[in-house]
Chain A
Amino acid sequence: QSVLTQPPSVSGAPGQRVTISCTGSSSNIGAGYDVHWYQQLPGTAPKLLIYGNSNRPSGVPDRFSGSKSGTSASLAITGLQAEDEADYYCQSYDSSLSEGVFGTGTKVTVL
């Protein structure tokens, strides 16, 4: 059972902005551990999208941005494109479990 909670799905029309929340607790995000985000296209391995809460690896479009506050983090996609249709996961570390943890995952649909 995931300790990081995400909405099961979000959707938006091309060009719109969507946000995905990642809610944790005082033993993971709230304890100061960084949050990272991954994009998983159908049938492929996950790909790093955001690291260290808000940093984009080279090659990731600046339409993707991340933020963190308190016990939650968010991923925003602006100027939504058809190619952004995928599953998105947040990831952090939990000190009470002493384990890495993933969010429940969010499916983004482009209308």
Chain B
Amino acid sequence: QVQLVQSGAEVKKPGASVKVSCKASGYTFTSYGISWVRQAPGQGLEWMGWISAYNGNTNYAQKLQGRVTMTTDTSTSTAYMELRSLRSDDTAVYYCARVVPAAIGWFDPWGQGTLVTVSS
């Protein structure tokens, strides 16, 4: 079955960076894109950006431009999201999701989520 499995929880200090992985299985990785979505405690969903697993094209949320980088490793069917210069308001659960059928499609399935806590 189509599945996305994310890396484990992280605790980081303000100013540090975090890199979350998302390993895909059950489908042809390069045929779809991956989006990243985050959810702060008790808050709604926030779209962070999208990467094409076919050619590496990206589109980032304006709010995160300059701090976020999304990449893929097609040899291992894994997507990565790196967020730099972490602040306390970056504390959230970070989700990856397969985008169907293209950059502006729907998200299915989702990874299980990775809690990133930013605290001094």
Pick from A11-19, A46-54, A69-77, A78-86 the stretch touching chain B.
Answer: A46-54
Inter-chain contact count A-B, CB under 8 Å? 57
Majority DSSP secondary structure for residues of B touching A: strand
Majority DSSP secondary structure for residues of A touching B: strand
B83-120: which residues lie under 8 A (CB-CB) from chain A?
A: 95, 100, 104-113
Q: Is the CB of B112 within 8 A of A100?
A: no
Size bracket of the B interface = 20 to 34
Q: Is the CB of A100 within 8 A of B47?
A: yes
* B23 → A minimal CB distance (Å): 15
Chain A interface residues (CB < 8 Å from chain B)? 2, 33-34, 36, 38, 45-48, 51-52, 57, 89, 91, 93, 97-105
The 10 nearest A-B residue pairs measured at CB: A100-B47, A36-B106, A93-B104, A48-B108, A105-B44, A45-B110, A51-B106, A102-B45, A45-B113, A89-B45
